[in-house]
Amino acid sequence: MDKIRIRGGRPLEGRIAISGAKNAALPLLAASLLTDQPLVLRNLPHLADIATMTHLLAQHGTELSMAGEHPGGGHMGQVMELRTRDLTSTEAPYDIVRKMRASVLVLGPLLARCGRARVSLPGGCAIGTRPVDMHIQGLEVLGAEIELDDGYIVARAPGGLRGGVVVFPRVSVGATENLLMAATLAKGEVILENAAREPEVADLANCLNAMGAKIEGIGGDTLHIQGVEALHGADYAVLPDRIEAATYAIAAAITGGRVELIGARPATMEAVSAALGQANVLLRPTDGGMMVECGLVGGGGGGDGRGDGNGVKSIDISTAPYPGFPTDLQAQMMALMTVADGAAMITETIFENRFQHVPELLRMGADIKVKGATAMVRGRGGNGGAGLHGAPVMATDLRASVSLVLAGLAASGETVVNRVYHLDRGYERLEEKLSGCGADITRLTE
Ligand code: UD1
């Protein structure tokens, strides 16, 4: 199994191209099931999760073809054409769904297009129980009959789905997306209340509208969808990954560096920019994306505020649905706080088991105490992370793994991150992007 070795302590300097958003690409791929016409998706990231979703689509009968290499080589910005002339299978098998929870996003499109679906329950997952009850209850409001059979969600809507008002009891990105896709082909109007407002949900809604759907209220918490007879093809570019961009912003900050995030979209990163601003890390829009600079105000660094001290200040954060601070950046922010000046209180409100990076960060010399959903992080003080030391570490989910890479970039000595397949699920060419800015980071292939 591959590992990543990092020798820390080098400030990052340079430019990093931001890939298409994984969490936007996955529902967009699932949306291709809604029509027999071709859907062309541009700016797809090259990631293990994307491969899992295309594998699932292929076994539903989707024909896939690929084009578009990134000019500099590699796979960035790849273009895929997907066409599902006929749904040859309406079953999403356990073997694929268990690998990736987002597979459940085929449920809404399958049911909407052909009135039946059999989708494995995603089951437990490293960051909590993550049920799908809101997906199921929402589809029932649209007239679906659903039962659970042997670990599978068996859904039927023989006469098609119908209009209705779905009020989500809690904000769920996946449930909003599943319902949004299902609603496009319903008979009548569907209203989704307390819908997730994440930019990835808006990206899906915009693509569905490009395919002929009638969705209003995009970006808000109430979505109105007028069902249509059929959707058609479209040509759509996936939005840039705000979580990837912010992860690299934190990489710049944790090393006291200066990095331009090419393609990053500031409007989708306001909570993160505000939080990092309070921490003395400036994110400012540029023509090409966003520039990250740190330690500019009263930092502990050298004359230019960089290099020998990151000047990052501790701040409290609490995760929340968009436009709040994303849970997908909680681990990375915690890594930053381990080297900041002061004490930070980090509260996780979305998932109940999302502090798996804590024991590993402790092994690297961090000072963190967890009580329930809150972690108290005492920073090692604006000295370029000299308080952390390298160690062999391992994490059990994507964002936890990347937080260990970030800690490794700041730590003295060598850090080896095991179980790199978690990183490959969500970060395209991570080691290339970081080493391009001067990090000493190498993939060790066994
Ligand atoms: C998506 C993202 C994930 C992110 C999460 C929260 C994708 C592919 N993944 O996951 O990276 O961390 O949003 O921003 O986009 N819940 C229920 N019942 C349900 C559905 C969800 O109780 O039917 C709960 C979950 O357990 C969790 C919370 O609601 O506690 C939010 O989950 P949700 O927004 O649905 O996350 P995902 O769509 O799975």
Of 98-107, 291-300, 391-400, 427-436, which gets the smallest average pLDDT? Answer: 291-300
Ranking 49-58, 126-135, 407-416, 419-428 by mean pLDDT, the lowest is 126-135
Cα 13 to averaged position of ligand 1 atoms, centre (Å): 34
Same domain, 387 and 439: yes
The reported pLDDT for the residue numbered 302 is 35
Does 417 sit in the ligand 1 pocket, CB within 6 Å? no
Tokens of 161: 């789905």
Tell me what pLDDT residue 295 has: 63
How far apart CA 21 and CA 322 sit, in angstroms, is: 15
* 96 and 85 assigned to the same domain: yes
Tell whether 88 and 201 lie within a shared domain: yes
In a 10 Å sphere around its CB, with 0-12 CB exposed, 13-18 middle and 19+ buried, how is residue 112 labelled?
buried
Q: Are 362 and 388 in contact (CB under 8 A)?
A: no
Q: Is residue 380 very low, low, confident or very high in pLDDT (cuts 50, 70, 90)? A: confident
- Least confident residue range of 121-130, 301-310, 407-416, 419-428: 301-310
Q: Does 224 share its domain with 153?
A: yes
In the prediction, which pLDDT does 446 show? 77
Range of the domain at 95: 22-237
What is the mean pLDDT of the segment spanning 250-273? 96
**Given the CA of residue 200, which atom of ligand 1 is nearest to it?**
15
Q: Which residues are catalytic?
A: 125
pTM of the full predicted structure? 0.94
Residue 428 has pLDDT above 90, yes or no: yes
CA distance 113 to 196: 23
Mutate to test the pocket of ligand 1, among 29, 105, 130 (most ligand atoms within 8 A of CB): 130
Q: Ligand 1 in contact with 224 (CB < 6 A)?
A: no
Ligand 1 atom closest to 243 (CA): 11
Question: pLDDT digit string (tens) for 205-216?
Answer: 999 999 999 999
For the residues 244-261, what does the mean pLDDT come to?
96
**pLDDT score recorded for residue 129:** 59
The count of domains in the chain is 2
Instruction: Looking at the CA of residue 22, tell me the nearest atom of ligand 1.
Output: 8
Q: For residue 197, how far is its CA from the centre of ligand 1 (angstroms)?
A: 13
**pLDDT tens per residue across span 341-377:** 999 999 999 998 899 999 999 999 999 999 999 999 9
Ligand 1 atom closest to the CA of 174, numbered from 1: 38
Query: In this predicted model, what pLDDT tens digit does every residue of 216-232 receive, in sequence order?
Result: 999 999 999 999 999 99
pLDDT of residue 303: 33
In short, whether 243's Cβ falls inside 6 Å of ligand 1 is: no
Task: Tell me: do 189 and 336 sit in the same domain.
Answer: no
pLDDT in tens, 142-186: 999 999 998 899 999 999 999 999 999 999 999 999 999 999 999
Decide whether any atom of ligand 1 lies within 6 Å of the 327 Cβ: yes
Task: Say whether pLDDT at 68 is over 70.
Answer: no
- Strands laid side by side in the 234-237 sheet: 63-67, 78-83, 39-44, 234-237
Ligand 1 centre to CA of 205 (Å) is 18
Residues 225 and 252 in one domain: no
CA of 125 to the centre of ligand 1 (A): 11
Mean local confidence (pLDDT), 255-280? 96
Final residue of a domain: which of 180, 214, 237?
Answer: 237
The reply to whether ligand 1 has any atom less than 6 angstroms from the CB of 101 is yes
Q: Three-class SS string for the chain?
A: CCEEEEECCCCCEEEEECCECHHHHHHHHHHHHHCCCCEEEEEECCCHHHHHHHHHHHHHCCEEEEECCCCCCCCCCEEEEEECCCCCCCEECHHHHCCCHHHHHHHHHHHHHHCEEEEECCCCECCECCCCHHHHHHHHHCCCEEEEECCEEEEECCCCCEEEEEECCCCCHHHHHHHHHHHCCCEEEEEEECCCCCHHHHHHHHHHHHCCCEEECCCCCEEEEECCCCCCCEEEECCECHHHHHHHHHHHHHCCCEEEEECCCHHHCHHHHHHHHHCCEEEEECCCEEEEEECCCCCCCCCCCCCCCCCCECCCEEECCCCCECHHHHHHHHHHHCCCECEEEEECCCCCCCCCHHHHHHHCCCEEEEECCEEEEECCCCCCCCCCECCEEECCCHHHHHHHHHHHHHCECEEEEECCHHHHHHCCCHHHHHHCCCCEEEEECC
Q: Is 130 near ligand 1, meaning CB less than 6 Å away?
A: yes
Provide the mean pLDDT of the chain: 91
Q: Mutation test of ligand 1: which of 322, 350, 353, 402 has the most ligand atoms closer than 8 Å to its C-beta?
A: 350
> What confidence category does residue 396 fall into, taking pLDDT thresholds of 50, 70 and 90?
confident
Confidence check: pLDDT of 434 > 70 = yes
- In the prediction, which pLDDT does 280 show? 95
User: Closest ligand 1 atom to the C-alpha of 26?
Assistant: 8
At 297, is the pLDDT very low, low, confident or very high (cuts 50, 70, 90)?
low
Q: How far apart are CA 348 and CA 176, in angstroms?
A: 21
Q: Tell whether 311 and 171 lie within a shared domain.
A: no
The verdict on 323 and 174 lying in the same domain is no
Confidence of residue 69 (pLDDT cuts 50, 70, 90): low
Does the Cβ of 136 fall within 6 Å of ligand 1?
Answer: no
10 shares a domain with 58: no
Cα(143)–Cα(149) distance, rounded to whole angstroms?
19
Cα 108 to Cα 192: distance, rounded to the nearest angstrom:
14
Rounded to the nearest angstrom, the distance between the alpha carbon of 396 and the centre of ligand 1 is 17
- Which residue's C-alpha comes closest to atom 35 of ligand 1? 172
393-412 mean pLDDT: 93
CA distance 283 to 293: 7
- Assess whether 178 and 317 both reside in one domain: no
Residue 435 CA to ligand 1 center (angstroms) comes to: 32
Ligand 1 centroid, distance to 35 Cα (angstroms): 26
For residue 343, what pLDDT is reported?
96
Mutate to test the pocket of ligand 1, among 104, 170, 172 (most ligand atoms within 8 A of CB): 172
Specify the pLDDT at position 375.
97
Final residue of a domain: which of 216, 237, 258?
237
Domain boundary among 237, 262, 278: 237
Domain of residue 399, CATH code: 3.65.10.10
Q: Does ligand 1 come within 6 angstroms of the Cβ of 132?
A: yes
Q: Are 373 and 349 in contact (CB under 8 A)?
A: yes
Task: Mark whether 223 and 267 lie in a shared domain.
Answer: no
Give the list of residues 6+ apart from residue 173 with CB closer than 8 angstroms, or none: 23, 196, 198, 200, 201, 321
Do both 93 and 106 map to the same domain?
A: yes
Q: Is 350 in the pocket of ligand 1 (CB under 6 A)?
A: yes
Question: pLDDT tens digits, residue range 239-250?
Answer: 999 999 999 999
CA atoms in the 13 A half-sphere facing the CB of 282 = 14
Q: What is the pLDDT of residue 387?
A: 83
